[in-house]
Amino acid sequence: MQVSVSVSVSVSEENAEQEPAAQQVSAFLERRREQIAQRWADAALFRTVFTVSRDEAVEAGRAVAAALAAVAASGRLDDIRASGFEAVRDQLGRMAASRARTGIDPDGVAREVAALREPAAELLRAEFEDPNGPEALECVVALTVLMGTLRLVVMETAVSASEELIARQREQLHEVATPVIKLWESTVAVPLIGTLDSARSQVVMESLLDAIVAERARYAILDITGVPTVDSLVAQHLMKTVAAARLMGAECIVSGIRPAIAQTIVHLGIDLGTVLTRGSLADALAYALSRQGVGIGPVAPAGTAPAADAGVR
């Protein structure tokens, strides 16, 4: 067992004639690991996470108790970076996350972790001849500090897990929300959805320009049906994208301008005169097709009408 020098010195100065409380707690956690795990398996936190079998809960309880024993042995009772916690961090994070998923809020999780203290403290007190003697109290205090640290580790693990999740989802949003769709030969479209901030519009422009090259597109449609607010910055981004597409030799059509957006753009004073616009994506596609000499119409039943009526051109 590794003993942190600074802590063990200060503790042993106070209890020169006896084993430091942290070491006693560590020894107790090792000795009574099985009983503690059994009791914890019945606590709300373990019981509700490991619903499949109680053995699983007991196993998890053993792992947590072993981790706590290792932390106590190192004397770093109040250090959430103590190496012993690393072993259970992943498991604790999963437990906290699973409780969060079932709709329990962070202080609910904190309460459930806090509830693990009493069963262990009870066992600890029973170890002493005088459960209220100074030695017993000192060990219970040490255990309480340790359990408080465990609570912090659980919360911290849960928070950093959700931060990671948010960062990942933000990245995904940038990627996912800007698919470039090939609608027809040399016609591509980007359905824009959500907020078009500078970062998003940069992604849109890049993927659109790439698609124009890859698909040898002559027509590019930017559909803004899913953009809730078109302010001057969004308009500027749109105009820049249109200008860039034009430089690549593609004609850009902005579609999906709703009546409320149209009125707002006019009041705002944005001049979209240089941008080709259409009310709906269908209109924009029809325009692009007609410019390519492709017409769409009902197919005449065979033998009743000449092919010229099929609507081509």
Write out the residues near other proteins by the rule CB under 8 A.
195, 197-199, 228-233, 235-236, 259-261, 263-264, 267-270
Give the per-residue SS3 of 81-149: CCHHHHHHHHHHHHHHHHHHHCCCCHHHHHHHHHCCHHHHHHHHHHCCCCCCCHHHHHHHHHHHHHHHH
Report the residue count for the chain: 313
Residue 181 or 260: which CB sits closer to other proteins? 260
Measured from the CB of residue 79, what is the shortest distance to other proteins in angstroms? Answer: 33
Angle between helices 106-114 and 83-101 (to 10 degrees): 130
The whole-angstrom separation of Cα 23 and Cα 2 is: 11
Residue 196 or 250: which CB sits closer to other proteins? 196
Place of tokens 């301008």: 257
Residue 2 or 229: which CB sits closer to other proteins? 229
Measured from the CB of residue 196, what is the shortest distance to other proteins in angstroms? Answer: 10
Residue 29 or 227: which CB sits closer to other proteins? 227
Measured from the CB of residue 236, what is the shortest distance to other proteins in angstroms? Answer: 5
- The torsion of the CA quartet 160, 163, 164, 165, rounded to 10 degrees, works out to 120
Measured from the CB of residue 273, what is the shortest distance to other proteins in angstroms? Answer: 13
* E strand or H helix that includes residue 223: strand 219-226
185 phi, psi to nearest 5 deg? -50, 130
Residue 126 or 167: which CB sits closer to other proteins? 167
Measured from the CB of residue 228, what is the shortest distance to other proteins in angstroms? Answer: 7
The upper half-sphere exposure of residue 119, i.e. CA atoms within 13 Å in the direction of its Cβ, equals 20
Residue 199 or 305: which CB sits closer to other proteins? 199
Measured from the CB of residue 234, what is the shortest distance to other proteins in angstroms? Answer: 8
